[in-house]
């Protein structure tokens, strides 16, 4: 069966520190991978998506970057965090953009 | 840019009542999905509708996709406290690609009181 792992679940980081959030998918090959950010109790905003290894598309200009070093691994990074980077980050995968599964999310608080 | 307007933003009702959540857009979507999310968890897919005019039922939940594929609704019959959560609609871009980029509505926070 297909599963998606996202970690850590919570993270508190000081302003200016680096960030690395990791997401891995099991049980599928060549998935589309996504990073979303969610404000408290609201909808999700697409940050990045990837249709293959090394292929990253950014949806909004920001202080974050994404990488896909392996087929089923998606990483969200920042060199220097800002207060405005706080939020709930969700990784997701889909096959041909149709069936969609989300990870359990990472609550990031920048202090 | 595609936008989805979801309403109402908040809904507080008593157990046993019926409710409807709406999702509207001026854009056409190739498919529309509904999710339910618990606090601190990722959204869980409830249903995907792909055909204009399509109606899908999931126990007490009824989902409808508009004929023009620009709007959708979620109707819950005889709501229960276990239905409490954040409900999200999301549209898949109609560009004919397989990228699966979703545009989300703002969400509806539903609270069902016993």
Q: What is the pLDDT of residues A74-89, one digit of tens each?
A: 999 999 999 999 999 9
Element (H, E) at A108: strand A106-110
> Would you list which residues of chain A are within 8 Å, Cβ to Cβ, of chain B?
6, 32, 34, 41-46, 49, 51, 57, 59, 90, 92, 94, 96-105, 107
Pick among A8, A33, A41 to test the B interface (most B CBs inside 10 A): A41
| Phi, psi (rounded to 5 degrees) for B82 | -70, -10
Q: Which residue has the tokens 């999700």?
A: A44
pLDDT in tens, A20-37: 999 999 988 889 999 999
Q: Are strands B108-113 and B10-14 parallel, antiparallel or unpaired?
A: parallel
CB < 8 Å to A100, chain B: 33, 45, 100, 102
For chain B (114 residues), the mean pLDDT of every run of 10, in chain order, is 89 98 93 93 93 95 95 97 96 70 92 97
The answer to whether A92 and A6 have CB atoms below 8 angstroms apart is no
Nearest by CB to residue A104, choosing from B41, B105, B106, is B41
* CB contact burial A85-96 (16+ within 10 A = b; e otherwise): bbbbbbbbbbbe
Strands A44-52 and A99-102 come out as unpaired
Which residues does chain A have within 8 Å of residue B99's beta carbon, measured at their own beta carbons?
Answer: 32, 49, 51, 57, 97
Is there a contact between A46 and B90 (Cβ–Cβ < 8 Å)? no
Q: How far is A109 from chain B (nearest CA, A)?
A: 14
**Is residue B95 a contact partner of residue B2, using CB atoms and an 8 Å limit?**
no
DSSP codes, A51-101: EETTEEEESS--S-EEEEEETTEEEEEESS--GGG-EEEEEEEEETTTEEE
Which one of B1, B85, B100, B105 would you mutate to disrupt binding with A, by most A Cβ within 10 Å of its Cβ?
B100
Q: Which residues contact B59 (CB under 8 A, 6 or more apart)?
A: none
pLDDT-above-90 percentage for chain A: 76
């Amino acid at each position: 069966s297909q599963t998606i792992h996202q970690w850590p679940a919570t993270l508190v980081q000081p302003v200016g520190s680096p960030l690395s959030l990791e997401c891995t998918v099991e049980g599928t090959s060549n998935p589309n991978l996504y990073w979303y950010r969610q404000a408290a109790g609201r909808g999700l905003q697409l940050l990045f998506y990837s249709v293959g290894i090394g292929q990253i598309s950014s949806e909004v200009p920001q202080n974050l970057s994404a990488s896909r070093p392996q087929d089923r691994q998606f990483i969200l990074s920042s060199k220097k965090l800002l207060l405005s980077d706080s939020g709930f980050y969700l990784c997701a995968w889909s096959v041909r953009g149709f069936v969609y599964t989300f990870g359990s999310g990472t609550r990031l608080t920048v202090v | 840019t595609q936008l989805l307007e979801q309403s109402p933003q908040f809904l507080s009702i008593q157990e046993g009542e019926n409710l409807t959540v709406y999702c509207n857009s001026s854009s056409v979507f190739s498919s529309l999905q509904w999710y339910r999310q618990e606090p601190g968890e990722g959204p869980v897919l409830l249903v995907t509708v792909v055909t204009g005019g399509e109606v899908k039922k999931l126990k007490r939940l009824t989902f409808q996709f508009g004929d023009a594929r620009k709007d959708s609704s979620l109707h819950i019959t005889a709501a229960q406290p276990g239905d409490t959560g954040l409900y999200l609609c999301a549209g898949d871009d109609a560009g004919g690609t397989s990228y699966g980029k979703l545009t989300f509505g703002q969400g509806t926070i539903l609270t069902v009181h016993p």
